[in-house]
Amino acid sequence: MIRTQISLSEEDYQLAKEEARRLGISLAELFRRSLRQSLPVRSDQPWMRYSGFIESGNPRSSREIDDLVYGQKD
């Protein structure tokens, strides 16, 4: 991942922090998601536009992705 820096007005910063808190995500993730929506979709991976937008409510979902996608094993 590449680290970058941006400048925001105080009002935009506060609104972004509130939205991130409401969504239960970091401020950085809010910005990544917002940017991803503005970028063109790669024609070889159109599903990537939706990557990271599904919320399971499980904080360990990235570690249990197979269970989420295919269902729990018996």
Q: Can you spell out the DSSP letters for 26-58?
A: -HHHHHHHHHHHHSPPPTT-GGGGGTT----S-
CA dihedral sign, ordered 3, 30, 57, 74: negative
In this prediction, residue 27 carries a pLDDT of 94
Query: What are the residue boundaries of the structural domains of the chain, listed by start?
Result: 9-45
Residue range 13-37, pLDDT digits in tens: 999 999 999 999 999 999 999 998 8
CA dihedral sign, ordered 20, 56, 65, 50: negative
**Reduced to 3 states, what is the DSSP secondary structure of residue 59?**
coil
CA-angle at 19, arms to 29 and 17, nearest 5°: 75
Q: 52 pLDDT band (50/70/90 cuts)?
A: low
In this prediction, residue 1 carries a pLDDT of 82
